[in-house]
Amino acid sequence: MPKLIIDEREITVPEGTKVIDAAERMGIMIPRFCYHPALGAVGACRVCAVNCLDGPIKGIQMSCMIDAQDGMKVSTTDAEAVDFRKHVIEWLMLHHPHDCPVCDEGGHCLLQDLTVSGGHGVRRFQGPKRTHTDQHLGPLVRHEMNRCIQCYRCVRYYQEFTGYEDLGVMQIGSRVYYGRYRPGTLESPFSGNLIDICPTGVYTDKPSRYRGRRWDFERRPAVCLHCALGCHVTVSARYREVVRQEARFSESINGHFICDRGRYGFPYVNLPQRPRSARVDGTETGWEAALKTAGERLESVAWKTGPQGIAVVGSARCGLETQGMLKRVADAKGWQGPVLDIDPAAANVRTAVSRLDSDLQVSLREIETADCIVVVSADPLNEAPMLAPALRQARRNGARVTVIDPRPASLPFQFDHFPVAPDDLAAAMAILIRKCAEKEPLSELGKTAVRSIEAVSDGADIPDADGLAALYDDLHNSRRPVIVCGTHTAPPEIPGMAADLALLLRIAGPRAGLFYVMPGPNSFGAALLSDPAPSFGDLVSAIEKGEIKALVVAESDLFGSGIDWDRLRNAMNKLELLVTLDYIDSPTTRAAHILIPTLTSYETPSLLINNEGRVQQSPAAFRGGDPIARTGGGDHPPRAFRRDIPGREMGAAWTALLTLGGRDPGSAPVNLTAWLGEAHPALTSLPEASDFPPDGVRLPLAENAVERFQTDRFSHGEKEEDALTLLVVDRTFGTEELSSLSSILKELTPSPFIHIHPEDAAELGLSEGDAVGIDSEAGTTVLPINLTPEMARGVLVIPRRRDLDDRLPQERRTVLSKTAIRKATEDA
């Protein structure tokens, strides 16, 4: 470990540390524009100059380009270095438009900071300035090229780091231009990071343009709710609205970046249609009054039907506090449930949670260090966007990435795809598992596991079964293989088989890891805190039979449960009482007899467990209330004096549930952490809110994984002849519940269509662009088709758009007879 002297202080750093980073460890921030830890060094801007006074290298050097070495004596304050940096800044500023007052970057601009701290105050250059034409880059990012200092961060981020090619650097010399070939919407779903990464104001946040300077905002850390990864964000709120979000560094999860769904999914918090006042039978009452009425009516239902006549429902977007409280109240009252995950994937998530062991868990960042990755039944870019760049980094480090999934996979790097139909996924996994058994002496349980796999068909229908067998060899010979397994559309045996494969690989040698992709930000918590039965489907049947008369629904839209809408509507009409607690307007809040508005995770702290089993805390960013833009009708807010915040007469869902459970709002505060510990043993040692570590805590999951194979197999139904499987799948924008309410992302949500394999289309007599009608329980859906060769045969794939849900079959996987699919006639 080299020992060197920087500014007369000694420091020892790990081999390979750049001088710029060594200095940063000592608290010395050497100026930099082009250097970024996620992108590495290129030495493009020359502003990080230091003077090496003694040692192996001497003279003015770029501190981002040299490794710390023994005996180095570096000065950052040396007059020559300071003068050098001053001149560099002066020429980087030659053509700058000096438009800081109207630039949204002003106030948090690295160029501003370094210009001032570098001592360059007066422009000496008298010549005409070089100017550029800006481009339209879509709804998210605003372009102002004149402010560019040619640091190359944007293009290196965009092309090298995330693998998209529609933004780059053109021209030469002083004309160097960063942008697209033609103006147009950026293709990358990670484009918002350009805003964070550009050290000046070339790329700024378009939706929040001119909405405030950084110091005007309440800025707080938060955890993203728009998928299960739990990336870190920084929230900026002003005038009781969330205005902007930025990526926040996380060592274990997202690194420096986030996806655009996470960045721009927030507008649901500000929406005018968000429920803000409690309502009983359509009449506004106070929050407490509504809770009181709800309590009384629940009592009266319980008196008539017994406590079993009441059921409670939550969702995967509820924080642990709410999920835990649903369980506590249901247990105490003898109500049915809680059903904490109504997603059709809930059973798969449950399997995943039960199969994830401490020694198999890998974090998102650890995926970057894997050298052989098999993604099964998952679509990273659409289901957990930031997984895609993590896989890309692994690929850049030489990993082989393979996707086994029926959908037309697209990833921003080179990968292998086995387009296996859903019914054959188990057979494909069985090939890998059997191959492992051939090679290794297994434990008794391992043998049983493999024997039970014999029941799975022999994989005759798998395209390129030999390729799969060869893939096993790569897995076997790798150092750090990772199995990524989806839950959204996976057949029920797949999550368990993925775990079996990871375990068997462990026995075979390599340090295999397992990474599940789950639907909601707290799917994991829901699986921990609730029992397999009743499921939401069970509740609906019980309602239909008249056994359940009242439902308490917390932060959950029942119309996303995969149950046919007509059936659900009829069931809900049979209810005597529907109490809905939520912060979004949904069919379920609209159907409520009693509506209790609640606070979002921006307004009240919440704990969430991500897909990896990591508990994270998302603190409140601001206190909530009706946005001033609304109370003032676009003008100055009312001047009437009041002591409370308008539109803030509400609490967190869990406090409402506490009251519904019969606790007097005035009684002593509860110890939530202790209660969570009582709710599940894995939650016993959660840190207190005040000392929650920045990257959260990994739950202690079961160990001794070797003994935990899935030995009971699922019986495989006969494949239906002349049938097609219809998959309704997630897409990056437009599917996830909260972000699909985002006005900002509307423009990026394309109209729906059906993917079909060209050969299947030919058999059905369909051609590209044809409007095709599909008959299902939901009625007939007519959509254009898109011939897609890179997908499995025998499958139709519809990317789901939540706002058109009522037109699509609710099941994620439906088997359709071929006769249910036909060309829609002109007049249909």
Partner 1 sequence: MLPTNVKQMLNQQIQAAEHPRELAIDIMMAVQDHYGYLSDEALEEAAAIVGVDPLKLEELATFYTFLYREPVGRYVIHICDSVICWMNGYESLRDHLCKKLGIQMGETTPDGLFTLLPVCCIGYCDRSPAMLINKKAYGPLTPAKIDEILETLRAEAAETTPS
CB of 446 to ligand FES, least distance (A): 52
CB of 513 to partner 1, least distance (A): 32
Report the residue from 290, 370, 384, 729 that binds ligand SF4 according to the rule CB under 6 A.
384
CB of 266 to ligand SF4, least distance (A): 11
CB of 92 to ligand FES, least distance (A): 10
Please check whether residue 603 is in contact with residue 623, taking contact to mean a CB–CB distance below 8 angstroms: yes
Angle at 242 between CA 241 and CA 245, to 5 degrees: 165
* 280 lines the binding site for partner 1 (CB under 8 A): no
Please check whether residue 351 is in contact with residue 495, taking contact to mean a CB–CB distance below 8 angstroms: yes
Ranges of H-type helices in 561-671:
565-574, 587-590, 628-631, 653-660
Residue 434 interacts with which of partner 1, ligand FES, ligand SF4, none, CB < 5 to 8 Å by class: none
Residue 32 interacts with which of ligand FES, partner 1, ligand SF4, none, CB < 5 to 8 Å by class: ligand FES
For residue 674, how many C-alpha atoms fall within 13 Å in the half-sphere facing its CB?
3
Report the residue from 13, 22, 23, 32 that binds ligand FES according to the rule CB under 6 A.
32
Please check whether residue 32 is in contact with residue 45, taking contact to mean a CB–CB distance below 8 angstroms: yes
Strand-strand pairing, 283-284 and 279-280: antiparallel
Cα–Cα nearest to 685, from 694, 693, 676: 676
**What six digits make up the tokens of 630?**
């609304």
Please check whether residue 43 is in contact with residue 50, taking contact to mean a CB–CB distance below 8 angstroms: no
* 45 lines the binding site for ligand FES (CB under 6 A): yes
* 391 lines the binding site for ligand SF4 (CB under 6 A): no
Q: Which stretch binds partner 1 (CB under 8 A): 162-170, 220-228, 333-341, 767-775?
A: 162-170
Q: Which stretch binds partner 1 (CB under 8 A): 20-28, 176-184, 523-531, 607-615?
A: 176-184
* 43 lines the binding site for ligand FES (CB under 6 A): yes
* 137 lines the binding site for ligand SF4 (CB under 6 A): no
Angle at 557 between CA 588 and CA 247, to 5 degrees: 135
**The residue type at 582:** D
Cα–Cα nearest to 310, from 664, 672, 657, 666: 657
* 812 lines the binding site for ligand FES (CB under 6 A): no
* 267 lines the binding site for ligand SF4 (CB under 6 A): no
CB of 159 to partner 1, least distance (A): 9
CB of 454 to partner 1, least distance (A): 43
Nearer to ligand FES, 88 or 699 (CB): 88
Nearer to partner 1, 125 or 181 (CB): 181
* 167 lines the binding site for partner 1 (CB under 8 A): yes
CB of 731 to ligand SF4, least distance (A): 12
**What six digits make up the tokens of 752?**
């729906």
Query: For ligand SF4, what does the binding mask look like between residues 224 and 243, x meaning CB under 6 A?
Result: x-xx-xxx------------
Q: Taking the CA atoms of the chain, what radius of gyration do you get in angstroms?
A: 29
Nearer to partner 1, 69 or 150 (CB): 150
* 168 lines the binding site for partner 1 (CB under 8 A): yes
Binding residues for partner 1, total number by CB under 8 A: 11
Report the residue from 150, 159, 369, 457 that binds ligand SF4 according to the rule CB under 6 A.
150
Report the residue from 78, 166, 538, 585 that binds partner 1 according to the rule CB under 8 A.
166
Query: How far is CA 452 from each of CA 315, 456, 711, 715, 806, rounded to the nearest angstrom?
Result: 34, 8, 6, 10, 40
Report the residue from 19, 21, 28, 35 that binds ligand FES according to the rule CB under 6 A.
35
Which residues 757-796 are close enough to bind partner 1 by CB under 8 A?
none
Report the residue from 181, 303, 674, 681 that binds partner 1 according to the rule CB under 8 A.
181
Q: Which stretch binds partner 1 (CB under 8 A): 135-143, 170-178, 608-616, 696-704?
A: 170-178
- Residue 559: phi, psi to the nearest 5? -80, 5
> How would DSSP label each residue in 308-344?
GGEEEE--TTS-HHHHHHHHHHHHHHT-EEEE---ST
Q: Which stretch binds ligand FES (CB under 6 A): 41-49, 203-211, 305-313, 458-466?
A: 41-49
Question: 3-state DSSP call for residue 98?
Answer: coil
Nearer to ligand SF4, 387 or 591 (CB): 387
- By residue count, the chain amounts to 828
Which residues 303-332 are close enough to bind ligand SF4 by CB under 6 A?
none
CB of 150 to ligand FES, least distance (A): 10
Output the 3-class SS for 110-140: HHHHHHHHCCCCCCCCCCCCCCCCCCCCCCC
Q: How far apart (Å, rounded) are the C-alpha atoms in residues 581 and 278?
A: 9
Nearer to ligand SF4, 230 or 324 (CB): 230
Q: In what order do the strands lie in the sheet with 821-823?
A: 813-817, 723-729, 795-799, 754-756, 779-787, 771-776, 821-823
Q: How far apart (Å, rounded) are the C-alpha atoms in residues 531 and 518?
A: 18
Residue 217 interacts with which of partner 1, ligand SF4, ligand FES, none, CB < 5 to 8 Å by class: none
Please check whether residue 716 is in contact with residue 478, taking contact to mean a CB–CB distance below 8 angstroms: no
* 488 lines the binding site for partner 1 (CB under 8 A): no
Question: 3-state DSSP call for residue 704?
Answer: coil
Q: How far apart (Å, rounded) are the C-alpha atoms in residues 116 and 106?
A: 13
Q: Which stretch binds ligand FES (CB under 6 A): 30-38, 257-265, 488-496, 750-758?
A: 30-38
Q: How far apart (Å, rounded) are the C-alpha atoms in residues 499 and 505?
A: 10
Nearer to partner 1, 165 or 473 (CB): 165
* 152 lines the binding site for ligand SF4 (CB under 6 A): yes
Residues 6+ apart with CB under 8 A from 401: 373, 375, 391, 394, 395, 411, 413, 415, 416
Give the footprint of partner 1 on this chain (CB under 8 A).
165-172, 180-182
Give the footprint of ligand SF4 on this chain (CB under 6 A).
148-154, 178, 198-200, 202, 224, 226-227, 229-231, 254, 258-259, 261-262, 384-386
Give the footprint of ligand FES on this chain (CB under 6 A).
32-35, 43-48, 62, 64
